[in-house]
Amino acid sequence: MEKIDLINKKFLRKDLILTIAKYQIYYQMALGVLVKETCFDKDEIEKKLKQLQLDIDVENVLNVMIELIDSFYNDDEFEIIFEDNIKVNAFLHSLKDFIEKNDDLTNKEKVHISYKEKIMDDAFFDAKMQLHFDDELKHRVNYWEELITEKIADEIKESALNIIKR
């Protein structure tokens, strides 16, 4: 498929909302795992999540989508590559933000290397996370449907098309 065709498809309101929702869930799940595995008790976990106040940057998600289309548009397995890379990018983004914003974290480089290896080796996302993802997806889609109108989706698509055409 051509880049322009993929932009037209992936940046339709419905697909755009779905991708952003997925990215956000993956990001938040990764953040939860990182906090849980680096904190010592439940109270500390809740306090740390509130303190960090991390969430996705939608512009970053859109840029990831454009990069994936630009890089893999002619691959026969594009849809699989796209989905896998949305997940991996969300996990890596969460890891990066967690390490940068967590002033209490010791051995930041060791933590980064360890979790990055797990993510890249597909050893981070497990069945329990998949169940949580499946349970949360509809709620996240509903949330983004309230924010992204047809007009906004069209504007985003036009912007993506302009970037690809450069």
Domain-by-domain residue ranges, the chain? 3-165
For the entire predicted model, the pTM comes to: 0.92
CB 140, CB 25: distance < 8 Å: yes
| pLDDT tens-digit readout, 68-107 | 999 999 999 999 999 999 999 999 999 999 999 888 888 8
Closest CA to 95 of 22, 25, 29: 29
* Predicted pLDDT at 49: 73
Among 37-41, 84-88, 110-114, 138-142, which stretch is predicted with the lowest mean pLDDT?
37-41
The tens digit of pLDDT for each residue in 9-68 reads 999 999 999 999 999 999 999 998 998 888 776 677 777 777 787 889 999 999 999 999
At 140, the pLDDT band (50, 70, 90 cuts) reads: very high
Nearest CA-CA partner of 84 in 111, 51, 122, 137 = 122
How sure is the predictor about 162, in pLDDT bands with cuts at 50, 70 and 90? very high
Token pair recorded at residue 86: 């949305």
Please check whether residue 6 is in contact with residue 71, taking contact to mean a CB–CB distance below 8 angstroms.
no
